[in-house]
Structures are given as C-alpha cells and as structure tokens.
Structure 1
C-alpha cells in the first residue's frame, strides 16, 4: 500500500514537472551537470539531456553513487546539489535525496533546506514541521531561510489551500512572531508578508504585537483603510511607534489619534483583548516546545496605556502647524475633546472663538459644541447655572438634526437637577418632532427624544414612570419600528442589572454622560 502511494505521488510530481517548459528543464539540468562535483560519476550519467527528466536523472545519480562508493562527504555534495536545483521541478527529488542524506547520517545544506521548505506541498509534513525538524541541525539560522518559512506560513502550503484554508490562525501568528523575532536586526522582511500579519492582528483585535512588526518599514499609509477597524490599544501602539511628523501628515490617522488619545485618559485592555493575549501566549509556549527554545515573546504587561502626554504632544504639533484651522473636522474633534471629555472650559473657548473666525459658515455646528460642553460639564458638576449658560448657545433656525440633538441633550442634562424641566422640554416638543426614520440609524427624532426622557427618569431611579412613558409612546406611535423599541428595552435591561448590583443611579448617570459625550 505504501509503495502504491509513493508511486501515485511520483506520478503526480512528474505530471507537475511535465508542465514545466522543456527548454527551461534542459537548461537547469545542463547547468547542474557541469558542476565539478559530478566528475567522479559523469561517465555514468546520461549524455542526452533532452530526454532526461529530473526523476530519471535522480535515479541514475543514486545508482551511480551506490555503484562507485564515493566518500559520503562527496556524495552529500551531490545530493544537496540535486535538492537545491531540481526540487522546484519535481518535489520527489527533495524527498529522495534528503532520505539518502539521512542514510549517510548527514544533513541537508542550508540552500537545500530552503528548497525543501519552499517547494514542500505540505501533505506529509507542513513547512513549519520541516523547519522545526531541520532547525536543530543548523547552528545559526540565516535570515533567508527564516523568510522562506515565514512566507510558507503566511501564504499556506499547497495542501492547506486545497483543503480550503483561507485565513491565518493564532497558531500561525505565534509562529510568525517567533520567526520575525529571530531575524537579525538588520534584516527587513518583505512588507507584503508583514502586512498580511498586521491585517490578521487588526481583524482579530490582537493587542501589543505591532512593535514586533512595524520595524520592518511598513508605511503608515497602509493603516488608512483599516483605521476604523482598529482598537484603541492598536491606535495607541501605532501613534507610539511612528514619528509625529508621519502622524500629522496622514489625515485619517491624525483624526483617529486625536479622537482616541483625547477621549481616553487611559486605554485599558478589554476583556476580549486580555483573553486574546492569553490565547496567544499559550500558542507561544507551544512554539517554544516545538523549537526547543527558551524564546520569550516580550508582550507588554501594562493593564492600561496612559494617554495624557501623548495627546499633549499631538495637540502641540497640531497648533504649531495650524492644522486645525485648515481642517474643520479636526477642529470639531478638538472642541469635543477639550470641552466635553477633558472639561477644559478655558481652552475650549479659546479654540471656539478662533474657529468662529476661521469657519464662519459652520457657526451652527460650533455653537452646538459650546452648548454641549456646558451641558455636559454642568451635568457632571451638578451646576445648574452652567446649564442655563448653555442655552445661550442654542441658535434658532438650525437644521432638524441639530435641533433634535439639542433637545435630547437638554432632556438628559437637566435630569439630575430638574427632572420636571426635562419632562417639560419633552412635552413641549414631541408633537412636532419628526417621525421619519434616519436612513443610517433607523431612528426618528421622536424615537430619540423619547429614549432620552426614559433615560432621564431611570437616572432618577423612577422605572415606573419611565415604563409609563415607553408604553404611552408605543400606544401613540410616537416611537415605532424594531430599532427604537429594541434600544429602549436594552436600556431597561441595563437598568435592571444595575438595580441588582445596587448601583442603578451611578450606572444611568454614567450612561447619560456617555450619551452626551458621543452624540
């Protein structure tokens, strides 16, 4: 049975070989046979290479070596040359001659190992398994061999492709990181290979591995198309690695860094990221065992990244280069960060007045940010005076979307100090609120105002009245559609969980703050 399988494999390899152009084959074999190492057996070799295929030549060479009884070191040179030059034409050559080397108690050369792994179809042994097998025989693994193995892992063995493999795995990632970490400091891996690994880490939200990969000269522009998929931790890693000049020159990256660094005093690992890190560390331990190596993947152990200094440095660069007065979107983000998130009222209004002069046609949006900042900080500090000041920035005649946002903010912002006012604002405006759904959110203005009022009463620990509002709005069709109902039911569920934990008021107040921060 084994012999028949070997025959099938040989036939398959020869079919693959037959597809190779004869002229290319003849050229390779002709060059190969001119090597002086073949001199001792040359008279036993075929003279007409036009009819010689790699497999037949291999059998001829082995027969000649066995007949003439060359010293094993000389025979080893010939075996290695055969593997190095013919494995890409017929992989059975690699199998046959590496077996002969093993019988001589000798190991393949580095170049031969490269060809064995590079052309390995992966059905009997994976390319990684071949690497770990031959690794022990190589004192110093050269960079070019490591990159061959890396390429096979990232692009998959042919057998894996045939079996339908489409994506990398955590196991693959651990192996890739091992290989990359064993390259010499001067070696730069092909950016295409590194980008494949980066894409996998982004798709799977894997933290704290960018540092191993970005040193291989990956242009920052590569991340533009992934910026909205990256986690805050990955954004922080990105910002920390690249020079500030690169960051401020790449607008999508700049906008994201300002938002993430500005809105978060710290960036803690999420539970998912902690679990992901644990899973990766388990795979790393397996790699260490397979490679008989004490290698350690130096994953940072910080539970959270502090962002204060990073944001300050970024803000200074933006101001120095006057980027914010050339980019309204960036200006709005800076206003939201300084006012709502950081509560720096003085700096907020300094920027606000500067932007009013530069962006005269965007007064409505700028005034809303001023209104929102005062509402948010007034709510957080229980400052009713600040809430009153906020109303000075409500401009008549603004668009429907800003009007809806303004009313919903007023409803939740007054909940802590004057819940009756929240109810009054709702009752005075709900009849004229638009019922038409927004295409992107599937919510109408009336849906949003009703949700805001329910949140306001839940923050006062009054679920009964919140339920009355919900039932009444459903009955009067003030709210409609599955999206609005689902959101409000989720709000009630969150409140119920908070009640069980005896922290309902704190949770709902935090929910209001979060609502205003991200509106």
Structure 2
C-alpha cells in the first residue's frame, strides 16, 4: 500500500509539474524575472498557465522598470503557447499598457495594435494610461478619448479616472503641445468644463486652472457654471477689485465665518463700496458657448451641462450689498470697537451716503459709529463731511454743505478740507478759494511716500474746483503759483495736475454744452467719492 502511494505521488508530481513550478515561482521572491521565466520555460514543455504570465508581468522588477528587456520574450513565448487563448493574450497586452507606458510610450501603439489583431479592446485602466502618457504627436488625447468612447467602449464615459485623465490633458496639454507653449483655447476650455461638471470628485488643481483661465478671459458666464464655493478659492484666483465683485456675486454666500472676514478685511472693504453701486451682472451663457456645449452633449450625452447652470437671472448688486451688510451685522464686527474695523465702518458709511444717496441712514450710522469708535472720531466726522459735500453737488443742496461745516473734525483733516473745496465749487468758488487760503500755509509741503504733499493735494483740488466751472485761466494761475512756491516739486505731483488739465481738455472737446457741464460735475463727484 505504501509503495502504491509513493508511485501515485510521483506520477502526480510529473503530471502537475507546472503547478509545482508555479509554487516555486511564488516562493522565490529573490530571483530575477529572467531567472524565473527561464526556469518555468525549461519545465513547461512550451505550455504555461496564463496566470503565470500575468504574475511574471506583474513582478516588481518589471513594474519598476528594472527588467523591461524580458517583457518581449515573455509576450513572444505566450504568442506561441497553444495553452493561451486570445482572451488571455489580450489581458497580457492590457497589463503592459497599464504598467509600462510610463517607461516607454512607444509600447502604446505596439500593444494596442496587438489587441486589435486579436479582435479585442483596450480596457479602461489601460486607456487611462494611454491618454496619460500620450505625446500628442500622432493623435491628441482628446481624439483618442473620443474614438474610444464613440467606437469601442461607450460606457467608459462614466469612469472617473478616464475623465480625469483626459481633463488633465485638455488643461495642461499633451507633451508635444507643452513643448510648443501650450495655452488652452476656448473650445478646449468648454470641453474641460463639461467633463469637470460631470466628475464626482473634482481635482482642485484642475478646477483652479480652469477658473484662472476663465478669469483671464473675463468669461464669468463659464465661471458661473464651474461655481465658486469659498472665499479661499476666490483668494487663490487673486482677482482685481472688479473681478472680485463678480466672483462674489457668483458665490453669493448667505453667511461666512468672522475669521474669514478678518483675513480678508481689505477685500471686504472694497466689496462694500462696489456692491452699493447700482448695477446688475448677467452671467447667462453667450450663444456661441451654448452651441458648443450642445454639440458636446449631443456627441456625449453623459457630459451634458445642467440647464440650470447655463441660465442666470441678473444679479442686482444692491441686493448683494444688503445681504453682505446683514452678514457683517450678524458677525458683530460693526459693533466691535477695535480700530482694525474702522475702515470697514467708514466704507459702509460712504456706501449709504454716496452710492445709495441715503443720508438718513448714513447719519444714523454716523451717530452709532461715533459713540462706538471713540479712537477714530476724526475719521468718522471727516467721512460724514465727504458724504455731505457729495450730496450737496449731486442733489444741488447747499444745506448739505452747511451740515458738513458743522461736522468738521478739529484739527481739520486734509480730506474734509478737500471735500469742502470741491463742494463749494458748485455754489461759490470764492468760498472754495477762502478755504484753500486759510489752510495752505500750515499744510505740509513735504511729499509723502507716494510723492505728493498735503499742500499739493489742496492745490490740485482747487485747480479741479475752478476747472469744473470752466475757469481755466485761474486754474493755471493756481498751478503756476504752486510751482513758484515749491508746492509741486515731485514728478508725481506735477503729473497729477497735468492729468486734471488733460481730462478737462478732453471734456471741452464735446460739442454739447449740457454734456460738458454734466461731465465736469461728474469729475468733481468722482474726486469727492475717491477721498
């Protein structure tokens, strides 16, 4: 019985030598792939189980590029192995595409062709790598993607990795395009947005790149589709003030943390003034973009853009302003006496008084702020003088100037003096000159960091006041006197005065006298508003 058992065991060993060789392969982790392959070949009689080929090609030494030279030998042996089906061979070619294109991109064409000859298809994971390492010299990555989805594997359109792979190439370009200085065009931008909007997990770097490109092109309709979801994202885009206002309008938050306000006080400060101006933003897609998105969704229904994002009701800035003020009120910042919030309080004061022409609300806030922020009473009073001076001209109301004079801080600030000089220009130029003469002697003539002195600022203000009433001759006398008295010494101060005279000349070029008068009035209002 024992002898029969030993004979049976010996027979099984000979018959299942491949199994033992496979076990030997699995245990001999220290050997090279070549050694293992040669050992298996010697005992295989030309037939190796398909899973052994897969294990060989999945070996760490091949996947890390150390033994790539053995890959062709393994594949060639598998081709002649009658034990390997076409399906097995397709699987092996896909394995190479998945693992080895990062070392040799030329393998892509070779093994894709081999798969086609076997009447097979590239699997999704392989296609991800094909697109990832495609140079773009023969076909662009988008063309490869389009062909794969439309002719080979339509269901792959829902694969996140595949979509991310082609999106990356659309955003950053194929390697051959990068060599030529790739810049994403609007057509590729729309394709990218269509893909991005259909990803469950949107890669932050790709989203940011697309937003930056849209911002560069001033395509806020496309930014509206991508979406803005945080102040941090807006900060990363580094927009100018005008762009910041539109990005905020797209985001349109109902609330955000006080810490976020603290970190962005300067931007919020500017936002208050901009949103208080009467205007409307329309972020609806233009017809050309609509047509292109429709073309993409016709070819790839899964990449359609939700209709709710392609249409947009005009955003009214006064509504956004009211909402922002509510956010600030809820954050308790406006009732916080710390001086770092003073600029924000002053902006809200000017927003109501100048942009919204709501003197009653401005006066109410003035009393609230002056009681709260005792360290900055002079700034708050000066701001109210600016508001009253502005309203005196915009509403042709001399009483506002009388109110302004009662609010003058002591000592008087340069901006409150300038506001009064400009305010009186519409009613009594001699009063503007009187204010100037009473204060010019004690005004500092030393230029600040911007190259302008306080005396220089008063001078350019009086020049503008006289030009607004078309008294160019006296304006030049003021200018010449300032030069003679060394008030306008720096190039900056001289250029600022020149710019005022230049703008005056441009306005006088208009043929309509009423239009000239209105434009000169607007110049004065703009100057007061800028104080």
Pick the TM interval, shorter chain: 0.7 to 0.9
Distance in structure 1 (CA, Å) of the matches to 2:234 and 2:312? 24
For 1:323, the equivalent position in structure 2 comes to 333
Are 1:482 and 2:517 counterparts? no
Q: What is the CA–CA distance in structure 2 between the aligned matches of 1:213 and 1:48, rounded to whole Å? A: 40
Question: In 1, are the aligned partners of 2:378 and 2:409 still within 8 Å (CA)?
Answer: yes
What does 1:357-506 align with in structure 2 at a 5 Å threshold? 357-397=371-411, 403-439=413-449, 441-501=450-510, 502=512, 503-506=515-518
Find the residue that maps to 2:255 and give its secondary structure. helix
- Structure 2 equivalent of residue 356 of structure 1: 370
With over 3 angstroms needed to count, the CA separation of the structure-2 counterparts of 1:409 and 1:76, relative to structure 1, is: same
TM-superposed deviation, 1:71:
6.9
The aligned counterpart of 2:45 is: none
Asked whether the equivalents of residues 180 and 212 of structure 1 are also in contact (C-alpha less than 8 Å), the reply is no
Task: Select 1:508's aligned residue among 497, 506, 520.
Answer: 520
| CA distance in 1: counterparts of 2:53 and 2:234, whole angstroms | 60
Q: Which residue of structure 2 aligns with residue 99 of structure 1?
A: 113
Select which of 118, 139, 161 maps to 1:144.
161
Shift of 1:104: 5.2
**More displaced, 347-356 or 92-101?**
92-101
Q: How does 1:186-335 map to 2 (within 5 A)?
A: 187-202=200-215, 205-214=218-227, 219-224=230-235, 229-232=239-242, 234-241=244-251, 243-246=253-256, 250-251=260-261, 252-253=263-264, 255-256=268-269, 258-260=271-273, 262-267=275-280, 285=292, 288=295, 292=299, 305-326=315-336, 327-335=341-349
For the structure 1 residues 433 and 509, does the alpha-carbon distance in structure 2 shift closer, same or farther, using more than 3 Å as the test?
A: same
In the aligned structure 1, how far is the partner of 2:54 from the partner of 2:342? 81
Distance 2:146 2:501 in 1: 56
Query: Higher mean Cα deviation, 115-124 or 342-351?
Result: 115-124
Distance 1:283 1:316, change over 3 A: closer
Matches of 2:453 and 2:504 in 1, distance apart?
23
Give the 3 Å change call, closer, same or farther, for CA 242–437 of structure 1 in structure 2. Answer: same
Deviates more, 1:196-205 or 1:476-485: 196-205
Distance apart, 1:261 and its partner CA: 5.0
Cα distance between partner residues in 2 of 1:160 and 1:390: 63
Separation of aligned partners in 1, 2:414 and 2:75: 85
Q: Which has the larger radius of gyration?
A: 2
Greater CA drift, 453-462 or 286-295: 286-295
Listed one character per residue, the Cα deviations across residues 150-169 of structure 1 (whole Å, up to 9, x for unaligned) are: 2334455444555566x766
448-457 or 245-254: bigger deviation: 245-254
- Identify which range, 318-327 or 43-52, moves more after superposition: 43-52
Using the TM superposition, give the Cα deviation of residue 364 of structure 1 relative to its aligned residue in structure 2, in angstroms. 0.7
The alignment's C-alpha RMSD in Å is: 4.2
| SS of residue matched to 2:396 | coil
Separation in 1, partners of 2:117, 2:328 = 68
State the distance in 1 between where 2:167 and 2:57 align: 40
Aligned counterpart, 1:6: none
Distance of aligned partners of 1:129 and 1:512 in 2 relative to their CA distance in 1, 3 Å threshold: farther
- Partner Cα separation in structure 1 for residue 131 and residue 392 of structure 2: 66
Per-residue CA distance 1:67-112 (angstroms, 9 max, x = gap): 8698765543332232123223332222211233345565422211
CA distance in 1, matches of 2:256, 2:237: 17
Cα distance in 2 for partners of 1:459, 1:313 equals: 37
- After superposition, the Cα gap between the structure-2 partners of 1:491 and 1:101, relative to the gap in structure 1 and judged at 3 Å, is farther
In structure 1, the partner of 2:18 is: none
Give the conservation status (yes or no) of the 8 Å contact 1:132–1:291: no
Structure 1's unaligned 5+ residue stretches are: 1-21
Q: Deviations over 1:235-257 (max 9, x none)?
A: 34435535422266521557257
Q: CA deviation at 1:489?
A: 2.5
1:257-282 Cα offsets, whole Å, 9 max, x none, are 7515543211458xxx99xx97x957
Q: C-alpha separation between the residues in 2 aligned to 1:148 and 1:348?
A: 55
TM (norm. structure 1) is: 0.77
Partners of 2:138 and 2:409 in 1: CA distance:
73
With over 3 angstroms needed to count, the CA separation of the structure-2 counterparts of 1:224 and 1:208, relative to structure 1, is same
- C-alpha deviation, 1:491, in angstroms: 2.7
- Report the alpha carbon displacement of residue 372 of structure 1 after superposing the two structures with TM: 1.2
CA distance in structure 1 between the partners assigned to 2:97 and 2:31 by the alignment = 17
| Secondary structure of 1:477 counterpart | coil
Which blocks of at least 5 consecutive residues in structure 2 are unaligned? 1-28, 41-47
In 2: Cα distance, 1:338 partner to 1:374 partner: 12
Determine the structure 1 residue equivalent to 2:103: 89
1:300 and 1:481 map into 2 onto residues whose CA distance is 52
Secondary structure of the 1:85 match is helix
